[in-house]
Amino acid sequence: QVSLQKRDGFHMCGGSILNERFILTAAHCVVDGYGIVARPPELFQVRVGSVDRINGGTLVYIKRIIVHENYGNFLNDVALLELMEPLEWTNTIKPIEMADSEVPSGQKVVVSGWGRLTTGGVTPQHLQWNTLKALTSEECDAAIGWGFDSLICLAHTENNGVCNGDSGGPATYQGKLVGVAGFVINGCGTSNPDGYAKVFYHKEWILENMKTSQ
């Protein structure tokens, strides 16, 4: 889990380390407005290896941003950040493996981030965790009318779930990366499930684009 920040240290989004060169985040964290054009990489920095978004770990910089070419309408909300320098693995800086299958319905999925604890609330300085429950596309469609194969929906009780600043961060199941935080319906902490881009669905795109390392 990393913190994607503006150069002044303002925390914007989460992300996940895939290998020493690439970080996976949400497209909406890095695009300009509503298009699919990424903002210049020099506007950002990434804090790795710390649960504190202000201190500790290492600050790294981005060489290139790759946004999914079909991003739009909350779908395909994934982007890769190619780093200037390769990461060095430590106890607190290590990659996460991508899931190679679907998460069975009803299973517990762990999400984390520095997002606000309530709508309009404060942004915590230290990383927060929560356990949500995976839904099938059909169950998600029934709940929020948004059942797409490319999404994984995670259900939670009121006053739980993701919020602003959690976007781009990981959802994990059995220690593997299954989702990238995307959107909430009608504000944070409602009883509506949260929408995550499904890593298993996007795995081929991710692997193909990591090959294009420059």
Label each residue of 133-153 as H, E or C.
EEECHHHHHHHHCCCCCCEEE
* The pair of three-digit structure tokens given for residue 59, joined into one six-digit string: 């600050």
> Can you tell me which residue has the tokens 């942004």?
123
Stated pTM of the model: 0.96
Classified as helix, coil or strand, 113 is strand
Catalytic residue of the set 16, 50, 137, 167: 167
- Supply the pLDDT for residue 78: 98
Residue 156 appears among annotated catalytic residues? no
Q: Which domains does the chain have, with CATH numbers?
A: 2-95+202-210 (2.40.10.10), 108-200 (2.40.10.10)
Catalytic residue of the set 3, 16, 28, 166: 28
Quote the CA–CA distance of 90 and 11 in Å, as a whole number: 23
Contact between 166 and 184 under an 8 Å Cβ cutoff? The reply is: no
- Residue 27, Cβ density class (10 Å: 0-12 exposed, 13-18 middle, ≥19 buried): buried
Residue 141 appears among annotated catalytic residues? no
CA-CA distances (angstroms) from residue 182 to 55, 91, 93, 170? 26, 28, 24, 10
Kindly report the CA angle at 190 between 199 and 173, in degrees rounded to 5?
30
Residue 77 appears among annotated catalytic residues? yes
> Can you tell me which residue has the tokens 């079909």?
70
> Can you tell me which residue has the tokens 């006053």?
159
- Supply the pLDDT for residue 143: 87
Catalytic residue of the set 16, 50, 77, 166: 77
* The pair of three-digit structure tokens given for residue 74, joined into one six-digit string: 């909350």
Q: For each successive 10 residues of the chain (214 residues), what is the average pLDDT?
A: 97 98 98 92 98 97 98 94 98 98 96 92 94 92 84 92 94 98 90 94 98 81
* The pair of three-digit structure tokens given for residue 161, joined into one six-digit string: 């779930």
Quote the CA–CA distance of 156 and 130 in Å, as a whole number: 9
Quote the CA–CA distance of 207 and 198 in Å, as a whole number: 14
